């Protein structure tokens, strides 16, 4: 047993959790959460406590949090998403939802291939939307995962509010181990802010309605300042080692094109010298690939802050678009 596993077992034993799942203990954190929901959102405390008696803290969720795919190097991460099955699945999803994708692209200005790729990376076009009850996932991480408890308790709060708004039984919706939901894997706060009822049936259904999911993804991108018609990223090359001065953490464009050219990075001629860009390095089995992330690449990272994720979405979108034509 590793030290990390021993710590987890000790932590769970202290709050009364067994090896797989258990009810939520009435800790100070839980009691404070219930009081907050009653005061802030006018929930009934007794009803909430009754609801949470049917909610379970789940050890597999805690285990999954320690193994994110973004911990892999690029050449391994890419192999997860750039597969024949995912490319072909994207082409089929596009064909099956062509009318919605065309209408959404016209209304929001987000390319159909980007929307399809997001849904492809997130859930393989709706095939894998999650096996955990959303309320179990959020409660587990909110009450039994101290490193991220603040974030997940806020999402639990948002989930209970949206369940009330959408007239859903909070024990029914399913999602990922982190509480992400539906085709696009929206967290509850994103659902409340960005989910759309595209077909006008009175429901924002991102679990079973691809049209609503497609419009919701596009709306998310627009609200994060997607620039219609603008490029996303360019592969680039460099002479010498001076370019390494421009490699830095983060994903936000932080260096001018003119400055990169002075560092002997060979850039597309159409880029204006004053434009801000992000130089990115992607690890291959031998060497690295250099890419230039533009504003729209940064917008993709608002969906998931990993530059690996954003590049997977972009490359999958290009492969799907090329295959479809």
Residues marked as catalytic: 122
Structure tokens, 90: 């994207």
CA dist 31 and 46 (Å) reads: 11
| 164-196 CB burial, b ≥16 within 10 A, e <16 | eeeeeebeebebbbbbbbbbbbbbbbbbbebbb
SS3 for 76? Answer: helix
Contact 196, 215 (CB under 8 A): yes
Sheet of 265-266, strands arranged across: 255-256, 276-283, 288-293, 233-238, 265-266
The number of angstroms, rounded, from the C-alpha of 174 to the middle of its chain's C-alpha atoms is: 16
Contact 279, 255 (CB under 8 A): yes
- What is the 3-class SS of 237-261, one letter each residue? EECCCHHHHHCCCCCCCCEEHHHHH
Contact 53, 291 (CB under 8 A): no
Q: What are phi and psi of 117, to 5 degrees?
A: -65, -40
Structure tokens, 139: 């409660």
């Amino acid at each position: 047993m590793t030290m990390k596993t021993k710590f987890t077992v000790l932590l769970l034993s202290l709050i009364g959790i067994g090896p797989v799942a258990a009810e939520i203990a009435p800790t100070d954190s839980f009691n404070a959460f219930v009081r907050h929901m009653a005061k802030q959102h006018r929930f009934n405390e007794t009803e909430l406590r009754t609801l949470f008696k049917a909610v379970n803290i789940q050890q597999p969720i805690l285990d999954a949090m320690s193994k994110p795919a973004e911990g892999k190097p690029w050449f391994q991460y890419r192999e997860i998403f750039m597969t024949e099955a995912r490319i072909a699945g994207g082409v089929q999803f596009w064909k099956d939802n062509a009318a919605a994708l065309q209408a959404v692209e016209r209304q929001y200005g987000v390319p159909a291939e980007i929307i399809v790729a997001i849904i492809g990376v997130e859930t393989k076009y709706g095939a894998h939307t999650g096996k955990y009850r959303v309320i179990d996932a959020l409660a587990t991480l909110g009450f039994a995962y101290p490193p991220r408890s603040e974030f997940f308790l806020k999402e639990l709060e948002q989930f209970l509010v949206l369940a009330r708004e959408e007239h859903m039984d909070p024990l029914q919706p399913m999602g990922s181990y982190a509480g992400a939901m539906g085709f696009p894997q929206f967290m509850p706060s994103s659902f409340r802010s960005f989910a759309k009822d595209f077909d006008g049936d009175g429901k924002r259904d991102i679990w079973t309605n691809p049209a609503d999911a497609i419009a919701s993804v596009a709306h998310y991108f627009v609200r994060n300042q997607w620039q219609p018609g603008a490029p996303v990223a360019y592969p680039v090359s460099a002479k010498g080692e001076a370019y390494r001065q421009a490699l830095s953490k983060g994903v936000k464009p932080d260096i001018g094109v003119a400055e990169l050219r002075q560092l002997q990075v060979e850039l597309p001629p159409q880029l204006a010298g004053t434009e801000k860009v992000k130089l990115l390095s992607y690890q291959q089995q031998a060497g690295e690939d250099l890419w230039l992330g533009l504003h729209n690449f940064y917008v993709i990272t608002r969906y998931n802050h990993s530059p690996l994720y954003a590049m997977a979405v972009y490359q999958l979108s290009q492969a799907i678009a090329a295959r479809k034509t």
